[in-house]
Amino acid sequence: MRYAFLTFLFIISYIIESTVFSFFPVAGVKPDLILIFVVFYALLKGPQEGVLAGLIGGLTEDIFFGHFIGLNAFPMLVTGFLFGLLEKKVYKENFFIPILTVIAATWLNQSLVFLLGLSIEGFPANYVAVFQNVIFPTLIYNSCLSPFIYGKFYKSTQKRFFRQPDY
C-alpha cells in the first residue's frame, strides 16, 4: 500500500510539474518535484526505501518524459540510496537540512542524467553550459520549494501510508 501511495504521489507530482509549473518557469526550467520527494523520503526512511522510491520516481519520469527507460530511473535510484544513508546522521527537524539535501541531490541527479545521456546519445556536450542553463536553475528552484514541501511531507510520513510496519 505504501508503494502504491508513493507511485500515486509521483504521478500527481508529475502532473503538477508539467501543468502548473509550466506557467512559472525560472530561467526556462521547471522544478523536479519527484526528485524532491525521493530525497525527502530517502532521508526519512533510509537507503533501502530510498532506492525503491528512486526507482519508482525515476521510472515515473521515464514513462512520462521518456526517451529511454532507465535514463532517469538509475540516477534517481542512486540519489535515493545515497541520501537514504543520511537517515540516521542528520537532525531531520533542522530547517536547513531539506534545503541543503535538495541542493546536493539536484546537482548529483542532474549530473548523473547528463553523464548517462552523454554515454547513451554519444553527442558532444559542454557540462559547464548544461550546469549554467539547466542544473543550476533547477537547483535554485528545487531548493526554494523544499522548505514548503518538507514540513508537510515530514508530518505525512508519520501517518498511516508511510509508517514503517511494526514487527
Domain count, the chain: 1
Q: Is residue 7 part of a domain?
A: no
Whether residue 163 lies inside any domain: the answer is no
- Does 150 fall in a domain? yes
**Inside any domain, residue 118:** yes
pLDDT in tens, 59-79: 999 998 877 888 899 999 999
Residue 18 lies in a domain: no
> Is 67 part of any domain?
yes
Provide the mean pLDDT of the chain.
89
What's the burial of 147, exposed, middle or buried (CB within 10 Å: 0-12/13-18/19+)? middle
Between the CA of residue 94 and those of 38, 101, 103, what are the distances in Å?
Answer: 18, 11, 15
Q: Give, in order, the Cα–Cα distances in Å from 104 to each of 16, 24, 80, 112, 162.
A: 23, 23, 12, 12, 24
Whether 95 is covered by a domain: the verdict is yes
Residue 12 lies in a domain: no
Q: What is the pLDDT of residues 45-55, one digit of tens each?
A: 999 999 999 99
Domain harbouring 148, CATH code: 1.10.1760
Which residues, 6 or more positions from 2, have their beta carbon under 8 angstroms from its beta carbon? 161, 162
**Listed ranges 5-14, 17-26, 129-138; the one with the highest mean pLDDT:** 129-138
Give how far Cα 58 sits from Cα of 6, 39, 165, Å. 12, 12, 25
Q: Please name every residue paired with 29 in a beta bridge, in sequence order, or none if there are none.
A: 26
DSSP string covering 41-53: HHHHH-HHHHHHH
**Residue 68 lies in domain:** 28-156
